[in-house]
Chain A
Amino acid sequence: MQAQTANNFDKNARAALADPVLQGALQNLASTFGTRRKAAIATVPDWEASRETARSIKSEVLGKLDKYLGAFADNAEANGAKIHWAKDAKEACSIVTGLVKERGAQMVVKSKSMVTEEIHLNHALEAEGVEPVETDLGEWIIQLAEETPSHIVVPAIHKTKRQIAELFAEKVGTDKDANVDELTATARRILRQKFAEATVGISGVNFGVAETGSILILENEGNVRLTTSLPKTHIAVMGIEKLLPKFTDLGVFLELLPRSGTGQRLTAYQSIITGTKKHPDHEGPEELHIVLVDNGRSKMLAHPVTRQSLACIRCGACLNACPVYQSVGGHAYGAVYPGPIGAVITPQLQGLAKAKQLPYASSLCGACREVCPVKIDIPELLLHLRAEITEGTSNGAVTDEKVARRRGESIAFRLYSSMWKTPGRYRFFQKLARTSQRLVARDGKIGKVSGLIASAAPPLGAWTAWRDAPAVAPESFREKWERKLKNGGKAE
């Protein structure tokens, strides 16, 4: 439905800023999550130590991912799970749809999973005549609306209650003035039927444990438990980077993830599933299939700086903290993963050429880095990606497709470097600036410039469209120093 792509970020952003309903929804997000998260992390005795521990664990796993992935597969299989290896989205979809069709299911229940969004699993299932039913309330809402999620944790955050009530009225016939409890009860009633009928349940995985072959999935609604306990077959789709070495490592991540993501000490439910049941008449699925998805992740390991983005535990805290995300929302990024982490992993997963605006869609303020539970230095990564774009390298990104060089900009920067190399040239540049600005400067300020001047100097046009710019001073500091300041002598 949306033709928004990552390379249209500027257009998407403008549209988002002009959308008052979206702006209202985003303001709600900014104020609510900040407060909740702050209160939640205050309950951890040493939050910084926990972050440091988590980061160490993730660095360990990523540095030896082949070893840990092998151990995870071995241990999961020893407990009765079947492991599938998918090198890309196409293969992952093919595996999942194959499993579903072999079992004769025409409808499957699904819990929320960003990796399944990434591989576009629902499209693949529908193309094979299978109806995927999203059971997480937020995901079900956007499924009804035929949209994509705009946030990693709260997929329908861009919608107001009013819009949701109207959507439900249109699609499932409820009252268009229904309140939140009534809307929730509607979802429960309708989806319950699907849970009762489904023979295949598809979930994601928050953490895999190498030592035991376990998978952990957390949630608040209960739909994950239903999806993974009622149907005969459970298919769990997992990004290969979602591993932890030891079972007890789950502790620190359960401390960090709910607090960072939703400001909760713990979500209502966590399920740790290790293989299949040990006796046929025990409860639970007969089969557990774990689909390991690469889709560009292994290539990211080739770059020692940007690969830390694989440590991401998909908590969404960086989105909530980001003033740019707060302004434009998730859809503007035109990618499955929005916000700061999206700006960093999308160019790596899809190639820089498909997402060349995203590394620039940031003021580098660092709020994301501050809140990331695994201490990913997102601004550092954005700077690396910007350098890769200008230098034409692509180390770590999936494809080598080069981003077209921005000739005008690189000439400008070369000029800036060479003009300001020596004091003589720098002073000349200053005189040039003072002369040329006479066209536009009044009383020490430059107001809105347009037309020819704006096209000759686009940054000046862009700046002065909304802000006054200072004129180059008639006497620079160094001239003032020379004239009077340097003889000010030592202080009293």
Chain B
Amino acid sequence: MTDCPDGDIRDLLPDLLHGRLDAGERAAVEAHLRECADCRDELELLRRMRTALRRAPAVNVERIVAELPPYRAPTQHRPARSWGGWRIAAAVTLLAAGGTSVVVARRGDRKPASVASAPATVATPAPRELALAGGTIGELDDSELSALIDDVGSLDAVTPADVDNAAAAGPIAPTTSNGTDE
């Protein structure tokens, strides 16, 4: 048995066999078949092969259905809190600017070091103290992180105009551990 050199047509023969060609493709393939003995042979081979392959082992539908798990609706997960992109930007900007409402205190026996307030006035919720461990966010413990997140969350009340004002005020010079400017 030889192969027809028209690979595209040969590719469509199984689809013709299974009735999966649209009218145009079917007409093209059938026209080709009238002229091509190799493709007629291959289609006949495919037909016999399908018959051979379709001898299915018996299946017990009732048993399969009886063993199916009962349907359980998926549990509803509480959607993650969604923060607007600008609010995150606001949080970053305010923290970088030294913040007007977040007072950074050193942990332990060190004297708390307050970050000087930026001159800009931002309408935020009432300021409250937030302890930072060693002065970096990476060293915060869980409760401190939680408090910081709450503070950032409270920035919902901040408007884009507030952010612009705070940014325009410029960053505050960092402070040393004893609270003096470097």
Q: Are A and B associated in one complex?
A: no
* Chain A interface (Cβ < 8 Å from any Cβ of B): none
